[in-house]
Amino acid sequence: MGTLPTALAEIVDDFAALGDSDKVTLLLEFAGELPPLPDDLATEAMEPVPECQSPVFLSVDAADADAVRLYFSAPREAPTTRGFASILAQGLDGESADAILGVPADFYHDLGLDAAVSPLRLRGMAGMLGRVKNQVRSQTGRR
């Protein structure tokens, strides 16, 4: 079982402390906090995440394996998906490659959103994390 980087663990703890309806509210707050893309990064150059129902794109820069940068693009019309992208961005951006690769693939169950969010949307979050890990592996040569 992997461990969660501190920022991601704190987000999981925040969700764990809430009831179902408040969890959805917090997820929507995260949707509003998705960091904007840097000016030099175009969606066309980013990797699509077909596991998501919405058009989500991500970019991973693991040139510095000790401080991996993550960027996500998700439409405002898809607040659940955008919230998941924001959780990953805020929880993993700047972490080491090893820390990101150590995140359990199903950590999102710890958010306690299973009752509030459809399984299809939860699979989308798993897809985002899986693609981030694949990019980190391909860029750093780590397994």
Write down the mean pLDDT value for the chain: 93
Q: What is the pTM of this model?
A: 0.94
Q: What is the pLDDT of residues 63-102, one digit of tens each?
A: 999 999 999 999 999 999 999 999 999 999 999 999 999 9
Q: What is the pLDDT of residue 71?
A: 97
CATH of domain 6-140: 3.90.1010.10
pLDDT at 92: 98
Q: Residue 95 has what pLDDT? A: 97
Rounded to an integer, what distance in angstroms lies between the CA atom of residue 79 and that of residue 69? 22
Domain boundaries in the chain? Answer: 6-140
Whole-angstrom distance, CA of residue 44 vs CA of residue 118: 28
Whether pLDDT at 59 is above 70:
yes
* Rounded Cα–Cα distance for residues 47 and 32 (Å): 22
Mean pLDDT within 11-30? 94
pLDDT at 52: 87
The 8-class DSSP code of residue 142 comes to: -
Residue type, 7: A
Tens-digit pLDDT profile for residues 101-126: 999 999 999 999 888 888 888 888 99
Residue 2 has pLDDT above 70, yes or no: no
Query: pLDDT tier at 27 (50, 70, 90 boundaries)?
Result: very high
In this model, does residue 1 exceed pLDDT 60?
A: no
Closest CA to 14 of 132, 135, 110: 110
